[in-house]
Structure 1
Amino acid sequence: MEATPTIRYEQRGATAWITLDRPDAMNALSGPMCTELLEAIGRIERDPGIRVIVLTGAGRAFCAGADLKGVFEDAGGSPGPIDPMTDFLDQVGAMMERLRMCPKPTIAALNGLTLAGGLELAMACDLIIAADSARIGDAHANFGVFPGAGGAAILPRRIGATAAKYLLFTGDTLPAKELVPLGLVNRVVPDADLGSEVEKLAARIASKSPLVIRRMKQTVADGLEQPQASALRLERVVLDAHRHSHDIREGLAAFVGKRTPDFKGY
C-alpha cells in the first residue's frame, strides 16, 4: 500500500478541488486512490458549504487509467480471474458509481492525457472541461483489457455507438477538441487558462440554488432511462415538490426586487 496520500484536497470558496496526485504514474488509479476518493466524496456530500466538485490531475496526465502493473503484480503475475484483480475492479466501480450518484455537480478538468479508466472517471462527472493539449482515448484494446467502469456501457450513450466503437476498437487517442462536437467534452481552453476557467465555471454553478441543481441532476439522470412522456411527468412531479421550497420563493423575490438571491439549499 502506498505510504503517501494519492490525492490532494483543497476548498476554494464553495468548490472542492480534488487533484489526483500520482504524477510519476500518470495518476493511474490504484486501490488506495479509490479509497481516498471515496472518502473525499463522502466528506463533500456531508458538507453544506461545498456546492461544486472539481476533479483534476497533477503533472502531464489527468489519469492514464488503472494501475495495471500494480494490479498484475498483486494478482501473482497471472492474467486469470485472480481475486486481487476482481477486488480492485470492484473498488474502482464503487468509487465511480459514488461519483456519478453524488448529488452535487461535478466537473472533470482534464489537464492532460486521459485514457481508459481515466476516461471512465471523467465520464462519471457531470461536465468535462479540457486543456487544449489534452488527449483522450479508451486504450483498453491496446493491452487486451476489457473495460470495467463504463468504457463499453457509458461511452456509446455519451457519443453514439459508431464513434464509441472507433475509440474502443482502435485504442487511438484524440485531441480533446475533436470530442467537443460529439458531446463528450463541453469546452476546450488554453492550457494556461484551465484552472481559472474551471474556477469561474464552478463559481457560477455554486451561485445557483443547490436544491434546484440537485433536483435537476437527479431528474436528468432518471429521465434519460424513460420514454419522453414519462420523463415529462417526472419533471412535473419534481416541480410540484420544488415549488414549496425556500429557494424558489427567494429566487422569485430577488427577481422582483432586482437583487442577488440568497439561496439556502432547501
Structure 2
Amino acid sequence: MDLRNRRGVITGAGSGIGRELAVEFGRRGGDLLLVGRRQETLDETAELVRSAGGAASILELDVTAPGAAERIQAAAASPDLLVNNAGNVRAGRLDELPESDIHAMIDLNLTAPILLTRSLLGPLRAAGSDRGSIILNISSGIALVGMPFYTVYAATKSGIAHFGEALRRELHGTGVHVATAYPGATATPMMDSSTAGEDLGFGRRPVEDVVADVLAALESGAHEINTALPTRRKMQDLNVTDPLAVDAALAPRLGALEEATREHRSM
C-alpha cells in the first residue's frame, strides 16, 4: 500500500495512537481531518501534523452523538483513508461495572466506527477504484486473548475485529484495503490509570514503536497487524491451541490483576 499523500479521517486523534498515526501520515504528505472530543488536544495534533509536512483540519465532535457520522462525512473531502481509532476502556468485575460505562464502551468502540464506516463507504469505494483506499480499525490484543476484568472491552474489540474481517471479504476486489491492528499495552494516556505491568502481561510499548509497526505492516499489504510483545504473543498462541491452559496460567494472578486494573478507566 502506498501511504503517501492520503486524504483521510482519523478519530480519537487528540492523543495516543491516533495522534501518532496522524503525525506519521502527515509526514507522508497526508491531508487529514482530525476528529475528537477536545479542541485543545486536536489543535496540538494538527500543529504536529503541519510541522511534519502534512495538512490538517479539526472537527471537535463526540463520535457517539446522534448524526456524528453524517457530520464527519460532510467535513471529509473525498477520503481515501479512514482510521477508526477512538476508543475507551473501563476495567472491573462485570457485576460491578456501571451500566453507563458498559454502554459507553459499546457505543464508542463498536457502534460508532461501524456507523462511520458505513457513511464513508461511498467515497472510499470510489477512491479504491483509483489508487486504492484504506480502512484501518484499531482493535486490541485483548481481542485475541480475552482477559479477566475486561469482559465488555474484550467484547467490543473482538467485535470491531470481526467487523473488519467480514467487511474485508465483502469489499474484495473493490480496491478498499481493510486492516485491523491489535496493539498490546501501549504507553498512552489511556493506560495511565492502570498499574498492571509486564509481570501481569501488560508490558507497555512506546506509542512510536507501535505505530511504526502498524504503518510498516500496512505498506507491506497486511490485513491483520499484531504489535504485541513476545510474552503476550506466546499467550495468544497458547490461547489458540489450549485456551484452558491460559485459564490455568492466569488463575494464580487473578487477585493481583484485579487490584492493578481496578482504577483503569479512560472515559
Tell me the TM-score normalized by structure 2: 0.31
Of structures 1 and 2, the one scoring higher in RCO (CA 8 A, sep 6+) is: 2
Tell me the TM-score normalised to structure 1 length: 0.31
